[in-house]
Structure 1
Amino acid sequence: MKTISLQINGKKHQVEVEPEEPLLYILREEFQLSGAKFGCGLQQCAACLVLVDNSAQYTCVSPCENFEGKTIETIEGLRKGDKLHPIQKAFIEVQAAQCGYCLNGMIISAVALLRENPNPTEEEIKASLHKVICRCGTHSRFVKAVKNVSGYR
């Protein structure tokens, strides 16, 4: 066991953990942040994504000690008080989600893209969301939601 410092959703935490334990387990079990999901466990479906220093990162197999000293933001941290993040609102407005399992990965990917590039092309939006597996097939709605929030060109 080792004490590591994690900054999650703007708050610093000290947690006693096995350093190789995946960050996903720490988020869900220690902090009850259940937005990031366990999907494939192979960093292939993107259900476990969180923002790490504004970049979408997999957490299902990544050791928690790798995130020490970095800024971690979960889907729960996007909401400020009672105000949803604009991308969350857009996903609701275009009814993008069906089963919702991929929703965390889609939203995290979209936020990461828009923070890096507020005016993405449709191809850039699709490329950003492509890594997230959605079995319901609502990718066109996800793309529309991101377009609605961005300065789409």
Structure 2
Amino acid sequence: MIITLIAAAAENNALGKDNNLVWHLPNDFKRFKKLTTGHTIIMGRKTLESMNGPLPNRTNVVITRQKDYTYESCTIVHSLDEALAKCNQEEEEVFIIGGGEIYKQAIDKADKIELTRVHTTAEADTYFPEIDTKKWQLTNEEYHPKDEKHKLDFTYQTWKLKNSNG
């Protein structure tokens, strides 16, 4: 099973502020949907709540410290290890979709990072962890200039763990 972190982060690794993304990139949402549909997605409680509920056509696994937390159509767990254990081991790839704390816990367990690097710096209260280029190798990059639907330039990046088959 390949564990993939998927995120959109500014050049200063900013992810969001006050439980919201700090930009609107429709093509990034389309790519996210295309990559994650049909897979298990793992997220923190605040990420779930910021999305107004579980995403369709995916198995939604939510990590929270709240022991009595429930959310319709979601599997609730209390640690990243528990979340990963809930995944069908036959599944080819699972996606970790945030937030910042979950990414920090997961980066050392991940095989791949699908990062949309948004070409700006943003004020945020949630950040993506620094990608250690000694451990990670950039294997693909696709640049998108700003246009009428996208106020910012961005680049899709695929990072793979060095010395991994993922």
TM range (shorter): under 0.3
Which structure carries more helix by proportion?
Answer: 1
Which structure carries more strand by proportion?
Answer: 2
Q: TM-score, normalised by structure 2?
A: 0.23
